[in-house]
Structures are given as structure tokens and as C-alpha cells.
Amino acid sequence: MKRNTFRPLGVLLVVLALIAVACGDDDAETTTTTAATTTTAATTTTAATTTTAGITAAPFEATFGYLAPQTGGLSGIVDALVKPVEMAAEEIAAAGDTMTLLIVDDGTDAAIATTAVEGLLNQNVSGIFGPAATGVSLSVIDRISGAGVPMCSPSNTGSIFTTYDDSGYYFRTAPPDNLQGQVHADLITEDGATKVVVAHRSDEYGRGLAQAIAEALEANGVEVALFLEFDKDGTGGFDAEAAQIAAIPGVDAISFIPFGEGAAFLQSLIEAGLGPDQVALYTADGFVDNVKPEDVDPTNPAVFAGIRGTYPSLAPPSGEPGFPGRFAEYAPGTPTIFSAHAYDCAIVFALATVAAGSTDPAEIALFVNGVTRDGTKCSRYAECRELLLAGEDIDYDGASGVLDFVGAGEPGAGTYDLFTYAPDGTYTVDGQVDISG
């Protein structure tokens, strides 16, 4: 495993072997380390802890793990999730603190992630970033929270986490899917659909988002003719599901929520006479992240033309305005899906470390919600850090926009991009929607 350490005076590369991590490609990246202190009993996040007196514990040195999808179904966006955290670690170093990152593969797989978690916990990390996928997070959340270590996912959108009993150790910067479901349903409704099929992959991400879409459609007065779950592994293909949809008369829109299996699902829809030139098709971030036109038809980029959908905004108007340019310079050509959210996970945990005056994971968890709300507004790490050291409460509004974490450790609002695929296979953002819970 390769370890990249970001220090105030430069970048030091050292080699570290994670204990008990046998999870495929173990390459890791880091920032400087001090062993985390012992954990304490779980604390809920229903009330944010704030600071009112000057803090004297800075600068800090702390190690944070990252469960990243280096392999598996979400490996296509690993750079979009990891590079912004590395950039944040460099900015944290420039301000005088040291965040060491131990980056390991979660495989987009429960078994691989479970093994990787043990390796990170054995390193006494002060916190863990990731996993990317809702289902993978569900497989490790009990182990991480049970160890008294805070975790922050930039891309978990499953609504299940809002009420999950995580003892105050689970956080996310991505807004929950009940918000996206409303935006997605409103898009379909405003486009004039009256009879819709909602189809989803067989996991918590697909099920949760699809359920939110279906409920919002019905509340909008739109008929949901079929709520269909399909095999997330694509075993046996999707011709039967496509035929089931085609047999329903009068369907004028289909919303499908996949990951990479969305390519085969779309192929089956097209073969059943349900392509985007015949019926309105809608999808979401899981499709955009993982499926390209050539995966469906290598000779026809227009195979996506007309498909519309929603995903958490890449550059919300309320986001810190300098982030897109800084990230483009730091990681040219890197996709930016959830990049702002990943950056904010790192900055929020670092600010909570400063506010706590401790690298103890349980102490850090107590301050996470508080640094995102009800204080002096700030949007860059160095600025926010100075306010904390001066004894002020802060309200960090980050690259992904206004955070204002609620008691569940998640944003109480979200901004979503509306997109449409063009004949050349690319998509354009043709609208943004702000929504609060």
C-alpha cells in the first residue's frame, strides 16, 4: 500500500502495510499520522457541540482512513472521490495541520469493505471517509460506529441512513434520496408524463431512490403503472423485465435506477421498442457514473439522446466559488461527480478535529454537526480554522453548498442538476433545483 503524507512543509512518501487488509488493490494515499486515542461510548448527533473558548491544541496531526471504490461497480468514479480529499489534505497542511490519508479498496463490495475496515481500525484512525455505495456502507456501519469512529460518506444517498441507529458516528455530505426523489418526480411530471414505470436495481440505493420517486409521482397525481425491481447483477439479462413493461398499455415514461447494469437494461428496453425515441426515459447519478453510450451501442453515441435525469449538483450556486477552478487545476480531466461532497467530508472532519482540540475519534464526532451550522460563516479551511482558534463558533458552507447538518449528521437541503443527453452521447445540465427536507 502506498502512503502519501501531506505535511505543512511538503509531501513525504512512506510505505505502510495495513494489517489484515487483503482486499484486491491495496494502494493507499495518506497525510501525517499520530495514533488516535482510545474510543469512548457512542454519542448521538441530535445536538451539535459548539466551541466558545479559544482552542490551544492546534496544530493537529491525525490519520484518517478512506474506503474507496478502487475496484468494482463504482471504480469509474474513484478519482472523482479520492483526489478532492487529497487536495483538501494539502490545503489543511498549508494551514498548519496534518491529515494523513490511508486509502484502501472497498471493492464496491461488502466482503472486501469489511476486511478493509479491520485494517483501518487496527491503524487507530481518527475517522473514516467512504464507502461510496449505500449498500457497502450498510455492511460496515455497525462495525465502524461500534468502534467509536466517525465516518463520512460523500456519496451515500440512501434514505435509510437518516433514521439508522449509528450512535452518532455516521455522517454524509450528500443529501438523502428522499430529496432527489421529489426533484426527479417533478421533472417527469413537468415533462407531461401521466403513466410511469419506475424500475430499480435490487439494493438499498435503487430501492430507496425509486420508492421516493414513486411516492412523489403519486403525490403529483401521476399514475405509477408498475414498480419493478431488477437483479443488480444482471443475471440472465433484462428481456423479461422489458417485455413486462412493454405489455402495459399507455406507458409514456420510464424511470430506471441502475449502476453499470443500466447498459444491459437499456439495451433490453430498446429491443422491446422502449428506447428514448419511443418513450420518455429518466435516470439518475448511478447511471451517469457508470454507463457510457458505447456500453450500449459501440457505433451509435445517439443511443442516449433524449434521456433525462437528476443527480446531486456538481457545482451548486451556493457552493464555495473557488472550488471548481482549484480542483480542475489540481486534477485536470477528472470527473467531478460527488467531488465537492468528498472535499467537504475532509474539511468538516478536520475542522471538527480543531474544534475538539483532540484527535480522539469520539471527541471529533461530537463536533462534526456543530462546525456546519449556527456560527460565523466561512468557506475555506484556513479561514474557518482561525475562527475556531479565536474561540468563535463557525458555520462551514463548503464546496457542495450550504451543509447545515441536522441531527442525523446530514445536510437538511440539497441542490440537484437536471440533465439531458444529446445526440453526441454527452449530457448537458439544463437546470438546477434547490430543495429542503
Mean pLDDT over 108-120 rounds to: 97
* Residue located via cell numbers 428506447: 275
What pLDDT was estimated at residue 399?
A: 95
For residue 38, is pLDDT > 60?
no
Digit-coded pLDDT (tens) for 337-394 = 899 999 999 999 999 999 999 999 999 999 999 999 999 999 999 999 999 999 999 9
Residue 109 clears pLDDT 60, i.e. is over it: yes
pTM of the shown model: 0.81
Cell numbers for 344, please give them. 467537504
Q: Which fold has domain 61-174+338-406?
A: Rossmann fold (3.40.50)
Mean pLDDT of 397-414: 93
Tell me what percent of the residues of the chain surpass a pLDDT of 70: 87
Q: How far is CA 418 from the centre of its chain?
A: 18
> Rounded to the nearest 10 degrees, what angle do helices 110-122 and 134-146 cross at?
30
State how far the Cα of 410 lies from the Cα of 187, in Å rounded to an integer: 24
State the span(s) of the chain assigned CATH 3.40.50.2300. 61-174+338-406, 178-316+415-436
Cα(257)–Cα(232) distance, integer angstroms? 10
Whether residue 3 is predicted with pLDDT greater than 50 in this model: the reply is no
Average pLDDT over residues 430-436: 92
* pLDDT band for position 254 (cuts 50, 70, 90): very high
> How far apart, in whole angstroms, are the C-alpha atoms of residue 13 and residue 241?
51
User: Residue 289: pLDDT band by 50, 70, 90 thresholds?
Assistant: confident
Burial class of residue 391, CB neighbours in 10 A (0-12, 13-18, 19+): exposed
Q: Is the pLDDT of residue 177 over 80?
A: yes
- Give just the sign of the alpha carbon dihedral 220, 420, 258, 255: positive
Q: Residue 126 corresponds to which cell in the numbers above?
A: 481518527
* 314 band by pLDDT with thresholds 50, 70 and 90: confident
For residue 306 the three cell numbers come to 433524449
Is the bond into 175 cis (omega within 30 degrees of 0)? no
As a whole number, mean pLDDT of residues 292-303 equals 96
**Which candidate, 110, 107, 125, 132, places its Cα nearest to that of 18?**
125
Q: Give the mean model confidence (pLDDT) for residues 125-144.
A: 96
Query: In this predicted structure, what is the pLDDT of residue 236?
Result: 82
Mean pLDDT of the chain: 88
Instruction: Say what the pLDDT of residue 335 is.
Output: 86
Query: CB–CB of 356/364 below 8 Å?
Result: yes
Answer yes or no: is pLDDT of 46 > 50: no
CA distance between the termini of the chain: 41
Query: What's the longest Cα–Cα distance across the chain?
Result: 69
Tally of CB atoms within 10 A around 45: 24
Report the pLDDT averaged over residues 113-130.
98
Model confidence at 313: pLDDT above 80: yes
pLDDT of 41 higher than 50:
no
Pick the CATH number of 178-316+415-436 from 3.40.50.2300, 2.60.40.10, 3.40.50.150, 3.40.190.80: 3.40.50.2300
| More confident position, 284 or 3 | 284
- The reported pLDDT for the residue numbered 73 is 85
In 103-121, which positions are buried (b, 16+ CB within 10 angstroms) versus exposed (e)?
bbbbbbbbebbbbbbbbbb
